[in-house]
Amino acid sequence: MKVSRSFCITISFTTLLSLIPCELLSPVTPLQPGYGEEGSYFVQFDSVPEVVTGNSTARVRYQCPKACRVGLEVVFTTSHKTEQLVFRRTWTSVKNLGYPRVRMVPLKLSPSVVYKQDLSHTHPSDGREVTIRAWLADIDTHASESLHPRDGEYHGLLAHTLKLLRMVPLAQRPAQARAVCTSWGTELLWQLAEGRIQQCPYESDAVDMMEFPMVSTGEYYGVIRVFQPFVNKELETARYHNMEHPRMAISVWIYLLNWCSGMRCAIVKHVNEFNSFGTPLIMLTNTGNIVIQVQLASKMDQAFTAYTSLPVLTWIRLDCYVEYSQVTLQVNYKTVSEEKVAAVHVYNFNEDILYNDTSGYLVIGGSRFMAGFHGYVGPMRYYRLGTAEVINPLSPSKTLEDLDEIHWECEEVKLMIEGFMDELRVHRDILSDICHSYYSAQMRRYGQMTCPQVLDWDSQRKYWPTLKLMMAQEDLVSGEWDSVAALRLGRRLFEDAVGRMARGEPVAGADPALSPLALLNVSSCLGHQQAALLLATVHLAGFGVPVDLQQGHVYSLLGAAADDRMALLHLGYKHMYGLDGFPRDPAMAYSYYVNIARQTSVDKDRIGDSQYITESILISDERELQTQMGETDDVIQYIKLQAERGDIESQKHLAKVLFWGLKGVPKDVGGAVKWFAQSAMQMTDAKAVYDYSILLLKGQGVKKNLTLGLRLMEKAAAMGSIEALNGLGWYYSTVGKDHRKALSYFQEAAQNGNSDAIFNVGVYHLRGHPIRNETAAFECFLNASYGGHVDGAIEAAYYLSVGNLPGVTRDPERAVMLLKSISEQNGHLGYTNRKALQAYLQGSREEALLRFAMLAETGMGMAQSNAGHLCEELNHSSACQWRYYNHSLYNSAPHSSGLLKMGDWYGQNLDLLTDGRSLAMEMYSKAALAGSPQGIYNLAVLIEEGQDIPLSILDTMRLPAETRSEKRAIVKHLMQRCVELEEEQEEDVLSPCALSLLRVQVQMAWRDLTHNPLHLALAYGILGGLLIIVAYVIGQIILGHGEALSARRRDGAFAGSGDAAPVHPSDRRDGGEMDGASQREMGSRRVNPSREATQPGVTRRRRDRDRERALREGIDTIVTVAGVCLCALSTMLLSHLL
């Protein structure tokens, strides 16, 4: 049943005119005979407007022999409502009784009835009939002003009359005069919306509940759907009448991997608001039969069994029809030989079935009330109002057919390996010295082969790498072949395939049967589902093969069907954000996230080598990588030394590192317990005492000792440990069975903010201590989830997903976000993250990329940044880099490295993106808010280049209002913030931000200086005077140098005239001294001082010396004056700079 028109179509109501005799259209005949006679009641209209207008008056004539009440009403009928009151006026008649009276009544009607649609009246009323009516009533019967005749009572009054008025069509109505002027923006919006035809939303009772395959893992998790009442009145009326006389149909495709492990498991179930099963409940039994349960109109639950014996490993369509008291089940599927099978099962309950789909919610798969089946759910269509024939084809057909094909291939692989192991075991027994029975030997020799096709040539060639690896593993060949051995072989095949891909072998290979992809396929078939996730990663990201979303979907579903943690997280992440062709469906994402969250809750109490805390290490940060050096790290060695010396903080830290395997150190639970004990037995640190006591109480890594554990727990609580208070509550609630005492401890710890205690208080609210309060429990669970409590997040997400708690609105997206953060804490993800880090530290970049890419496909933000960095480091395609950096932005708190890379990518691809610069600025601003100095610097550079900064980014960056008017002021403020961040991160002082800030400050100071006329004139004067003086000094130096050069030339000529004889070299002794004779001869040739003044050369040298002295003094003066000028200019500049 559909509403196919784009506008509302409703059934018109019978008009009032058809229910009233024609003579009533004239003035009403009084109830007592004798019109106008004394003692009679009558009421009539003397004048009434023919058309409904804004300013009109009705003239009413009436007569009352006794005191009475007179009423005047205007009602109109629309296509949705009958007799809607728009005007009423009543009064009493107690004077001049028995005589006719007249009253003028102004009709003040609603503007929606009188005027056309405009800005003030966006929804005018388009009535079909408008009726004005008057009546007389006994004043004793209707004594109060608030009382008036109810619908259907007008014929029992003393007198009444009515008249039909004509409604003015909407297009012909006048516009109401406005009392005030509207703003320009409001007027514009109205003009844009004026004349728009209001359309009802398209609605259909046929709802596609599932458009993409869902994995049902056979546990208590499924997809929750909620139905709302129809908006369309016709559909909603039909649904309402459908409750006790139901007609509905549901069609669903299922793919069974196994029958139920218990007696029954759920396929589809309806849970009402009372948390009990409603109609329908479709279940599967452990023998492959279908059970359908309904709730009857008498509130009784009844069911019937359809003996179907459904096959496994094939797609089956179940069509269930409910009509009144009868249920019909149609089953359709194909056998292995492609033979179609169709069966019909009909059952009549002999009582109408109660059906209300808006009550509660519908669950596909498992829920906390019943486990689901193990397999897949295909397309599902729900007909809320029933149908004669369902239309529900198998889609997407290629994906579902390939999924079926892979499962059959896996069955072939298992059968082949089991046969091969049997042959190896027989061959090993023959070669050994074990004595065998003659008859058993003859049976092996001449007996009939049960599976001769298992080890044919094609199978051996196809699976030769697997068989070769099996023969090389002595522990696999010698032991019994079971699921554990198969899983061990699958793990080794996975590691072998990863090693081949890391060494650069082609992923697909020249021979597909010998390629890493083939090994991964066999590995996933043997139960190691990380191989299926790696296959999905390879096809979705295009590692060595073309991108194939359809194959990626198949392997994603295959891995999740085995309940693999990473595969579940991968599917939940893809459905949450609608990536890689997975439809965005928060409800389906919730079904996967709640599964991995519940496994995380169980895993956190298990100690094993396959679990590690997920450490968020960015491989592009050398300082973070240094923390993963393991036991060889200097810090770890120093902590060990301090711990051995008795430092309690070092002992606690070392115990935590060894217990969880942090910082690249291998796990050593025994060594960790030793340091826990040593730090606790000092009895000086409450945290150390609590840590050791909880190990003793739970028996983790040490023999359980309740007595000592309780004593230490009490000691820690007395020392002020809030965790110990919660621990005491846990002890008395589980071991001591004293719930009153336990609750008091929980409440005390919860008041101090302990998330474990807050969760435990919520549990007690659910149990009814002191009273059951589900709303209070939800608040406790939600508050505990904010503190990272795993179980608190699971419980709070459940209430958000179903929305059946008063005051809690259904919000599956919020539920998923609560679960996402705690699911990524799973220790098995931490183990994979640790192996990826070790591969990177050991230099195996390709292997690290593969492992980080697997984690990135699960939505882990740090792994996505690391995968993007490795794609860049290994020169992979830009699509690889863009994929993981872009995916990292979907996280609630993306790392700044991904934001910076995406900002760079947007800025470099301006030819492809029209809004590339604005997107780059948005990325840089988010990186800045995440604490990245580089983000602030890049944002400032874009602004300096002339890019207009949007107001939203200014608000995001929380820039002061006084700095937003000018770009330089914005840049200065950003650079100052960048320098502050660099100082907090202890980076170099001479960083790009610091240098840029200095440059901007100098530019702004010079601009301020040049914009002041007085300072500008003074600066120019100083510079001009300085230039003149410098020019003068340079000129004097040049002139003085020329004169000195000419004087030296003249002195040389004077010396060559013979007045002085040169000293012969032979007259000097060794060492450059002259002998006595030479000195006496030289002395006789000396010039007399009294004659020196008369010699021209001496006078010239004296003038040169005086000139040089004056020049030096002038230069010193100029340098002093220049220094003073520069100092004054610098002072002026600094005054503006500071």
pLDDT score at 957:
73
Q: CA angle, corner 525, sides to 261 and 508, nearest 5?
A: 155
802 sits in which H/E element: helix 790-802
The DSSP secondary-structure symbol of 216 reads: E
Query: H helices of 842-991, where?
Result: 845-857, 861-873, 878-888, 896-908, 916-929, 933-944, 951-956, 967-984
pLDDT of residue 108: 85
Pairwise CA distance, residues 1034 & 1031, whole Å:
5
Tokens of 487: 């899983």
The predicted pLDDT at position 257 comes to 94
Identity at 1105, one-letter amino acid code: R
Q: Which helix (H) or strand (E) holds 641?
A: helix 634-644
Q: Residue 297, Cβ neighbours under 10 Å: how many?
A: 16
> Torsions phi, psi of 17, nearest 5?
-65, -35
Question: CB under 8 Å to 696, separation ≥6 — which residues?
Answer: 702, 704, 705, 706, 708, 709, 712
| Mean pLDDT by groups of 10 residues along the chain of 1138 residues | 36 31 34 52 88 86 89 81 82 87 88 75 71 85 52 67 84 74 71 63 87 93 93 87 89 94 93 89 94 92 94 95 94 91 94 90 92 95 92 92 93 83 65 53 52 54 70 68 85 90 84 81 90 95 92 95 94 95 95 94 81 87 81 83 89 88 84 90 90 89 90 92 93 90 93 93 90 91 93 94 89 94 90 92 92 94 92 87 90 86 85 79 85 84 79 74 73 81 67 78 69 66 69 68 60 49 47 48 46 54 68 69 66 55
List, as own/partner pairs, every contact residues 920-929 make where C-beta atoms lie below 8 angstroms and the sequence separation is at least 24, other chains included.
921/947, 921/949, 921/950, 921/953, 922/953, 923/889, 923/899, 924/899, 924/900, 925/953, 925/956, 925/957, 926/894, 926/899, 926/956, 927/896, 927/899, 927/900, 927/903, 928/957, 928/974, 928/977, 929/956, 929/957
pLDDT value at position 366? 92
Structure tokens at 858: 């699960």
- Give me the sheet containing 56-63, strands edge to edge: 42-47, 56-63, 101-107
pLDDT at 193: 63
- Strand 277-285 with 56-63, pairing: unpaired
Q: Quick check: 511 and 519 in contact, CB under 8 A?
A: no
What is the CB neighbour count within 10 angstroms for residue 965? 8
The answer to whether 490 and 527 are in contact (CB under 8 A) is yes
Strand pairing report for 68-77 and 374-383: unpaired
Torsion, Cα 834 839 841 845, to 10 degrees, reads -130
Give dist(CA 16, CA 131) in Å, integer: 9
pTM of the model: 0.75
CB contact at 8 A, 303 and 281: yes
* CA angle 750–752–757, rounded 5-degree value: 25
Return the SS3 of 892. Answer: coil
R_g over Cα of the chain = 47
What is the pLDDT at residue 530? 92
Tokens 């196809």 identify what position?
462
CA distance 343 to 329: 8
What the block records as the tokens of 727 is 């621990």
Query: Do residues 374 and 257 touch, judged by C-beta distance below 8 A?
Result: yes
Q: Tell me the residue length of the chain.
A: 1138
DSSP secondary structure string for all residues of 914-930: TTHHHHHHHHHHHHHHT
What is d(CA 153, CA 168) in angstroms, rounded to the nearest whole number? 29
Burial class (CB in 10 A: 0-12, 13-18, 19+), 436: exposed
What Cα–Cα distance (Å) separates residue 896 from each residue in 862, 900, 918, 936, 1097?
10, 6, 17, 11, 82
Q: Give me the pLDDT at residue 1009, please.
A: 62
Residue-level pLDDT at 953 = 75
pLDDT of 669: 86
The CA distance from 1125 to 1133, in Å, is 12
b/e burial code for range 202-236 (CB count within 10 A of at least 16 → b): eebbbbebbebbbbbbbbbbbbbbbbeebebbebe
DSSP characters for 391-417? -----SHHHHHHHHHHHHHHHHHHHHH
899, 930 in Cβ contact below 8 A?
A: yes
Apex 968 CA angle, 962 and 972, nearest 5:
80
Let me know: does 652 contact 688? Beta carbons within 8 Å.
Answer: yes
Interatomic CA distance for residues 1100 and 350, integer angstroms: 144
Give the model's pLDDT for residue 119: 64
Cross-strand partners of 343? 331
